[in-house]
Amino acid sequence: MPEGVVAPYFTDPTESFVLYQGDCLKLIEALGENQFDLIFADPPYFLSNGGVTCKNGKMVSVNKGKWDKSKGAVENHKFNLQWLEACQKALTPNGTIFVSGTHHTIYSIGFAMQQLGFKILNNITWFKPNPPPNLSCRYFTHTTETILWAAKSTKSKHHFNYKDMKAENGGKQMRSMWNFKPPRKAEKKHGKHPTQKPLPLIERIIRSASDPGQRVLDPFNGSGTTGIAALKQGRRYVGIELDPQYLDLTLSRYQELVPGVAEQDQPRTALGF
């Protein structure tokens, strides 16, 4: 356990799947520098503004929780700078980070990366073949999300499993437009998270930029999709989440893959950060 960090919310016997409950800004710093080979982050999009959207044919609120409420462009960007700087320090010298977002926040993310000296490697477009309809009929229907892939610095010799990605793409170079459907019903059977990403999408990210045994961090763990993907791909995982209910959801998904580890024998400790 890193110095200064209290007991994790959960850790498996091999310490290859570890969850912390608390503020990611404080926890990432406490975990130490140069610790992770790969980071995937799905930060708040700041969309919870009282509006509505369409889901499964029904009109529903876009509000996801206080964590997703905008504090204005300046404060939102300040937050992005803070957590990205913490992640940059946590990356190994040749480590990389993937960050997903929509137009509401991704430009702030990209600018913050430039300010901090990251090297942006790719602008990946996740195409959704069946997006929700545009209720206002005043915009083009939103059908994509952007995933920025960046190296820790301009001096990084980033890792890319080029041959594996080419093989997955039928022997042709894989392009930066990826087609994935939203999470399937089976991925939500233990519970739902409002911004859950499809497992195959995260598995591709992990396969593309890390090797088995390397360490993966998700500072916004959510329902634990990154952790499940890392586990299935033979990587070691650390997830940070503020809300304990989503950590419990993550544990339910973990238990499905590793039923031999008894939940009741594991620590469940709130950090108090």
Q: What is the pLDDT of residue 130?
A: 87
Domain span including residue 164: 10-265
Answer yes or no: is 244 within a domain. yes
Do the Cβ atoms of 48 and 64 come closer than 8 Å? yes
Answer yes or no: is 44 within a domain. yes
Cα–Cα dist 231/236, whole Å: 7
Q: Domain holding 247: CATH number?
A: 3.40.50.150
Answer yes or no: is 1 within a domain. no
Q: What is the pLDDT of residue 96?
A: 98
Amino acid at site 127: F
Answer yes or no: is 83 within a domain. yes
Beta strands 91-101 and 36-41 are: parallel
Answer yes or no: is 189 within a domain. yes
Cα–Cα dist 52/21, whole Å: 30
Cα–Cα dist 163/138, whole Å: 43
Per-residue confidence of the chain (273 residues) as pLDDT tens digits?
545 556 899 999 999 999 999 999 999 999 999 999 999 999 998 775 655 545 555 555 445 556 556 788 999 999 999 999 999 999 999 999 999 999 999 999 999 999 999 999 999 999 999 888 888 889 899 999 999 999 999 999 999 999 999 999 999 999 999 999 998 889 999 888 888 999 999 999 999 999 999 999 999 999 999 999 999 999 999 999 999 999 999 999 999 999 876 544 454 544 333
The domain total for the chain is 1
Answer yes or no: is 3 within a domain. no
Instruction: Output the pTM of the full model.
Output: 0.87
